[in-house]
């Protein structure tokens, strides 16, 4: 891609961010109490006084104060800029939060509950698909396409910039807690560049919060950069974080045991401990004479747990993430990644 083309794309993206901020309702000024952390209100197209949320709630300030319209599935007659607008709750949500690249004209409720107008419960379909879905002749998964969502849900109005701030704080304001981790100059000095990357890489995963990972694709990497990072569901991110242990500065060897290894002072032997994903019980493994032997047993169990998680998420995460999980090797210390 030419430099000129890249510059044009960056200009369009920055203009988009500016537009998005104007469309998103400032909750602090409106006094509206959100029903969920991910709720976002955006200005209804063709109006100056109506905002629809991704949870299917419509508000207006026609009389100066913000008022909530009828919730659930309902018909509305809105006072538009040029004309009256006849519409329905699900249609408003779909028009403002769902991409409609195929120019479909019907909205299908995934759980068949018309009152559930949450944007992730909706999908655009055409007339034929709607009839077949309604008659039970077409399973939803056989539509042959994945519903995409309007990106301002995850950009400046919510996640991208707060995530940038979190990375910056971890790298530069926490007394080097992250052991030398740093941001590439592009991201460190240009938040919009990070937001562009986040928007391009972002994907939904069963409603989980998403996190930036810097060392799954490149074990031992310390740089937050677009060609080295990936986005992970929080469950996977937490699992991988629990696979890391730094060497202790203590001179006492028992305080510097490898990841997952404990010392049994009664038997004067070492053993591994693991809590498989989804289990509350911590499992104690066999006793060994040395920390190295105990770690090798722990490693086998931990690797198996990671493989199970990789397969669980196989069809939910990008292929590069799945492949990296299969390659992931548990090390006794972070420093061993080199």
What are the C-alpha distances in Å from 50 to residues 22, 26, 69, 155, 217? Answer: 13, 13, 10, 22, 44
Rounded average pLDDT over 257-266: 92
List, for residues 115-171, the tens digit of each pLDDT value.
999 999 999 999 999 999 999 888 888 887 788 887 654 344 456 877 887 888 788
Q: Is the pLDDT of residue 268 over 90?
A: yes
Q: Is the pLDDT of residue 13 over 60?
A: no
List, for residues 167-210, the tens digit of each pLDDT value.
887 887 655 554 788 999 999 988 888 988 988 888 888 888 89
Percent of the chain with pLDDT over 70: 86
Asked if 169 and 208 touch (Cβ cutoff 8 Å), the reply is no
Biggest CA–CA distance in the chain, Å, is 83
Q: What is the pLDDT of residue 124?
A: 95
DSSP state, residue 102: T
> What span, in angstroms and rounded, lies between the C-alpha atoms of 294 and 335?
19
- Both tokens of 149, joined, read 């969502």
> What span, in angstroms and rounded, lies between the C-alpha atoms of 79 and 75?
13
Residues β-bridged to residue 85: 78
Q: What is the pLDDT of residue 153?
A: 41
Cα dihedral value 335, 231, 20, 105, nearest 10: 180
> What span, in angstroms and rounded, lies between the C-alpha atoms of 16 and 35?
27
Q: What is the pLDDT of residue 120?
A: 92
Q: What is the pLDDT of residue 192?
A: 82
Q: What is the pLDDT of residue 102?
A: 84
| pTM assigned to the model | 0.56
Asked if 270 and 287 touch (Cβ cutoff 8 Å), the reply is yes
Nearest to 277 by CA among 299, 259, 315, 304: 304
Rounded average pLDDT over 50-76: 92
Residues β-bridged to residue 269: 264
Mean residue pLDDT across the chain: 85
Q: What is the pLDDT of residue 174?
A: 53
> What span, in angstroms and rounded, lies between the C-alpha atoms of 219 and 324?
10
Q: What is the pLDDT of residue 30?
A: 80
């Amino acid at each position: 891609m030419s430099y000129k083309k890249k510059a044009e794309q960056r200009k369009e993206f920055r203009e988009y961010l500016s537009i998005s901020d104007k469309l998103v309702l400032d909750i602090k000024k409106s006094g509206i109490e959100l029903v969920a952390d991910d709720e976002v209100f955006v200005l209804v197209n063709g109006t100056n006084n109506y905002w629809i949320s991704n949870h299917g709630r419509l508000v207006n300030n026609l009389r100066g104060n913000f008022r909530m319209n009828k919730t659930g599935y309902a018909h509305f007659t809105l006072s538009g800029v040029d004309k009256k607008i006849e519409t329905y709750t699900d249609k408003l949500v779909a028009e403002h939060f769902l991409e409609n690249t195929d120019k479909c004209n019907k909205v299908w409720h995934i759980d068949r509950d018309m009152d559930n107008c949450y944007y992730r419960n909706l999908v655009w379909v055409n007339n034929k698909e709607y009839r077949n879905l309604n008659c039970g002749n077409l399973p939803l998964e056989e539509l042959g396409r994945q519903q995409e969502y309007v990106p301002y849900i995850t950009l400046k109005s919510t996640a991208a910039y707060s995530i940038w701030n979190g990375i910056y704080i971890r790298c530069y304001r926490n007394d080097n807690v992250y052991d030398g981790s740093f941001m590439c100059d592009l991201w460190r000095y240009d938040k919009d560049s990070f937001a562009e990357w986040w928007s391009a890489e972002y994907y939904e995963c069963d409603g989980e919060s998403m996190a930036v990972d810097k060392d799954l694709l490149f074990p031992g990497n310390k740089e937050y950069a677009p060609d080295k990072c990936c986005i992970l569901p929080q469950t996977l991110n937490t699992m991988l974080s629990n696979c890391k242990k730094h060497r202790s500065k203590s001179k006492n060897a028992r305080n510097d045991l490898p990841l997952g290894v404990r010392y049994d002072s009664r038997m004067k032997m070492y053993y591994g401990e693991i809590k498989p994903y989804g289990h509350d019980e911590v499992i104690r493994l066999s006793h060994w004479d040395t920390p190295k032997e105990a770690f090798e047993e722990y490693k086998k169990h931990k690797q198996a747990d990671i493989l199970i998680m990789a397969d669980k998420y196989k069809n939910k995460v990008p292929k590069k993430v799945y492949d990296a999980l299969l390659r992931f090797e548990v090390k006794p210390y972070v420093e061993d990644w080199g």
